[in-house]
Structure 1
Amino acid sequence: MQTDTTIMPYPVTVSGPDTPLSHPLAAALLTSIDDYHPQLRGRRVWLACSGGRDSMALAAVCAALYRQGALPFLPQLLHVDHGIQAVSKTWATHVQAWAEAQGLSCHILRAQVFGDNEQAARTARYHAMQAHLRQDDVLMLAHHSDDQAETLLMRLIQGAGVQGLAGMQPWRVQEADTGRYQLWRPWLGVRRAALSRYAECQQLPYINDPTNDTGDNQRSQLRRDIMPALTALNPQAIDNITRSAALLRDAADTVQTQAKSDIAQALIDTETYPPYQRGLSVSTLQALPRARLRQCLHTWLTLDEPLPPPKQYIDDVGALVVRRDANHQTALYWQASERGYHVRRYQDTLYRLDSAWLSWLALPITSQRLLLNHSTQTQSIILRADSLCRWQVRVQATAEATNSTLHIQALTRDVSVKTTRMNHPQRGKKLYQRLGIPMWLRGSIAIISMTDTDGHTTPIALISPYHLWPLSTKTDAVHCETLLSFIAE
């Protein structure tokens, strides 16, 4: 039963017949539960419910199977009120009232939409739900085979590769700033027509969003104009496209496994670099065949992003990898879903740098002065901090350094420095090259000096946010440790 979008009858109970276990929708859900039983065990399960036909049908089937004892859990509904339509608050009230009548818990979330189109609203809904989920929660989605076919055609039009043409996955681990959660789509093998028949039989009071059929976005145009034409040419078109997506998903899994193996071989020690700066060995990448290099870069760049960069960007990064000259000035920028990234190469390392990390590296180093006392416990001195990250030095003096004064300040290019591994003092570009410091980190080098009780000042160490280079044997008199901590973590 299609519900008017402005006047909603609630509370509503299901008046149609119950849902037998043999019903195709129930059978598909129970089969998916068997497939992902280990991943579901012990986790909270949520169901994204817009109030539309598909999500209401999934919620109704879950409630019916739970009442029969066939479903071992009852998902909680999540409905997002994004406020971009005048009736959105009425929709939220309707969904909550219907859910309560079925014995389902329903949480209404508010979302702020940046934009006035359906994609902006979709992004806002996902962000609102992500913020609500806890680590490893499961979010059920009611996508079906018609959605899968539309997705495949959209990505084909956009020139997607094997990963994109694999379509939506029935189970996917999703990484977000708020943590990790699981997306579960148990009905990817179910046709839209089956959901419509079920909704009519059960007299579900679903909401019909008029924007779904206006044709003012690519998906609705495909749904309104292209899909009927395809099914007129071949009644099995949607089933065939869905089968192609499944076959491509198998191929994508094979490609992904190889790409992750190549990344593991090329990965620079992750403990050396912060999470906003990732690195791969250029020489290891250069040994890969061209096709594997492209897939390796594609996977690496999008490890924590929902969508990959354009093909041209990946090709440009590949050209940066195979280049043989020593020019380290090239910086390739990519604006992802929320973050911006720069890809740069320095010496034998290819870096992916978060724009927020580069902004943090541009902050000034706070000069510090500390009187050392042997009886003093370990002290932490903050050199740079903001809402993203904190860089500090942990200091503990020995008896030899008692009553000395420790100075920490930014290293300038005109200061000559000789580390314990150098034969001669060096400064500026030669010093940075000798220490292997990339351009974007050269403003984040500090020098630690110690002035003894006789007034003699001795440089004892250079530090970066995660390196320390001894400059003198007097380094042993003061135990220094450089620490980097990310506030967002």
Structure 2
Amino acid sequence: MTPAGNPGSGRDWPEALCTPVRHLPDHSHLRIALSGGMDSVLLLHVATWLYAHSGQISAVHINHQLQPNADQTERFCRSICRQLGVPLDSHRVTVSGRESSDIGASGGGIEEAARNARYQVFEEILAPGELLLMAHHGDDQAETVLFRLLRGTGMAGLGGMPVTRPLGAGRLYRPLLDFSRAELHGWAVQHGIEWMEDPSNIDERFDRNFLRTSIFPLLKSRWPSLISRMGHTAHSCREGDELAAKLAEIHFKQCAGPSGELCLSALGALSLAEQKNLLRWWARYFRYQPPAIADWPQVLEDFLSSPADREPELRGTGFVIRRFRGCLYLVPEFTKLPAGKPVLVPDQALSWGGWRLTLAASGKPKTPAPEIRVSTRAGGERIRPAPGGPSKLLKNWLQEKNVPPWERARLPLLLEVVDGHEEVVGAGDLWVSGKYCGEAPASGWRIVVERECN
């Protein structure tokens, strides 16, 4: 614990510090992310002074169980919240890879795992209308920008941490980004704030600590206004990224098909920089992290010009970009399909490979529930799309419907068992036999097929 004299009443908090905390986005409840460190404890004091009368303020502490004083820090956070009359929501998390020594220049390892665990809790607990305040300051922003620069980031990364963004069902807000660590430390000492030091903050095996303790002091001695300069750079990069996103949105409207796919002929009319910008934006639009690609020209050349019998693709985290009939499709990574051929139980929805399948009675059926099995294509299946019309090979019918190959392989087939034989009565949401669809299905039973992403 770091003592700093006698705690102040809060009545003399500087207006410069109060102003950004006073002017927050609309919210129904205010949460303070409380680590126990100097900056978060200071933010808690100021926010409590400004908002305690509303009764709509609380703190949240994440115990990563990584440091020797982790439990002591949690107790300290409980104590300071009791003193201030602020409810505390404390969560213990188990950080994946906590025994690993992979904490160096890769930028991953335990630092990133701890951050992911922390933000996962925040996402889970924030309710609609709630605002989470985080105490990141100008030094944190500068460290983030330099760290990302060293990792080879683009303009979005050099924009650093945004002041606000959606988080779970609520929002995250950082009111202290315009202040340096030195300014906040001065106010904390002046007002007698106590806080806990994280012993890992001096461990230079961690990349950010190395930058904080060894690199930034040297840079600041040469350029005293470094933190504010890097803050301006981050702000300019964020503006540039916003403009690039607006341009990509315009190009998306020019290139997009009815299902969000990109038409290659329209994409090919753009410059290389515009194509790259659009593909990155497209991934973010579907809430994926854009892939880090060293050779964008070759990737785009493969998509635009490789022979029709080739199947070029670009893999990202959680998705694949694939080409099909003159268009690019962003396809989520598929979950493993269930084994066997499950049978639909009346009025019980079955989750199956991203689909929700239900067998429901239509009125008062006169016959028992049919045996409807769910499976994928095995080859040779036939369907009769139009009542009384000719039957067709399912394979050929799916090709006529322009169903991409990766969807054909995972399409749920609904198989009615009659006298021991299986007859196809449905193919995903593309077709269901008249026996089991419509206002008055002939069988008295209706099959409802939905994509779970809907």
TM-score by length of structure 1 reads: 0.76
Q: What is residue 439 of structure 1 aligned with on the other side?
A: 405
Give the aligned length: 437
Do residues 483 (structure 1) and 449 (structure 2) align?
yes
2:146 to 144, 153, 164: 153
1:28 to 16, 20, 23: 20
In structure 2, distance between residues paired with 1:136 and 1:203: 33
Q: What is residue 297 of structure 1 aligned with on the other side?
A: 279
Deviation of 1:398 (Å): 11
Give aligned-pair identity as a percent.
22
In structure 2, distance between residues paired with 1:474 and 1:24: 66
Q: What is residue 181 of structure 2 aligned with on the other side?
A: 192
SS, match of residue 336 in structure 2: helix
1:57 to 14, 24, 42: 42
In structure 2, distance between residues paired with 1:403 and 1:29: 65
Do residues 392 (structure 1) and 358 (structure 2) align?
yes
Do residues 90 (structure 1) and 90 (structure 2) align?
no
Do residues 341 (structure 1) and 319 (structure 2) align?
yes
Q: Which amino acid aligns with 2:180?
A: R
In structure 2, distance between residues paired with 1:13 and 1:386: 62
In structure 2, distance between residues paired with 1:450 and 1:254: 57
Distance 1:73 1:14, change over 3 A: farther
In structure 1, distance between residues paired with 2:82 and 2:288: 34
Deviation of 1:225 (Å): 1.6
Deviation track 1:28-72 (CA, whole Å, cap 9, x = no partner) reads 323x43xx3xxx24x2221111000110111111123346x7xx6
Q: What is residue 2 of structure 1 aligned with on the other side?
A: 2
Deviation of 1:344 (Å): 2.2
SS, match of residue 240 in structure 2: helix
Q: What is residue 228 of structure 1 aligned with on the other side?
A: 217
In structure 2, distance between residues paired with 1:136 and 1:473: 43
Do residues 354 (structure 1) and 336 (structure 2) align?
no
SS, match of residue 249 in structure 2: helix
Distance 1:125 1:402, change over 3 A: closer
What does 1:126-145 align with in structure 2 at a 5 Å threshold? 126-145=119-138
In structure 2, distance between residues paired with 1:406 and 1:386: 17
Q: Which amino acid aligns with 1:53?
A: M
Distance 1:352 1:392, change over 3 A: farther
Q: Which amino acid aligns with 1:223?
A: R
Deviation of 1:206 (Å): 0.6
CA contact (8 A) 2:358 2:448 kept: yes
CA contact (8 A) 1:152 1:167 kept: yes
CA contact (8 A) 1:62 1:74 kept: no
SS, match of residue 2 in structure 1: coil
In structure 1, distance between residues paired with 2:136 and 2:152: 22
Deviation of 1:152 (Å): 0.9
Tell me, which stretches of 5 or more residues in structure 2 are unaligned?
99-109
SS, match of residue 120 in structure 1: helix
Deviation of 1:363 (Å): 4.7
Tell me, which stretches of 5 or more residues in structure 1 are unaligned?
4-11, 271-277, 371-378
In structure 1, distance between residues paired with 2:288 and 2:415: 43
In structure 2, distance between residues paired with 1:66 and 1:398: 59
Q: What is residue 102 of structure 2 aligned with on the other side?
A: none
CA contact (8 A) 1:398 1:477 kept: no
Q: What is residue 115 of structure 1 aligned with on the other side?
A: 97
In structure 1, distance between residues paired with 2:204 and 2:389: 72
Moved more, 317-326 or 472-481: 472-481
What does 1:257-406 align with in structure 2 at a 5 Å threshold? 257-264=246-253, 266-267=255-256, 269=258, 279-303=261-285, 305=287, 307-312=289-294, 318-319=300-301, 321-327=303-309, 329-335=311-317, 340-355=318-333, 357-360=334-337, 363-366=339-342, 380=347, 385=351, 389-394=355-360, 396=362
Q: What is residue 106 of structure 2 aligned with on the other side?
A: none
CA contact (8 A) 1:148 1:167 kept: yes
Distance 1:78 1:404, change over 3 A: closer
1:76 to 54, 58, 61: 58
Deviation of 1:353 (Å): 3.0
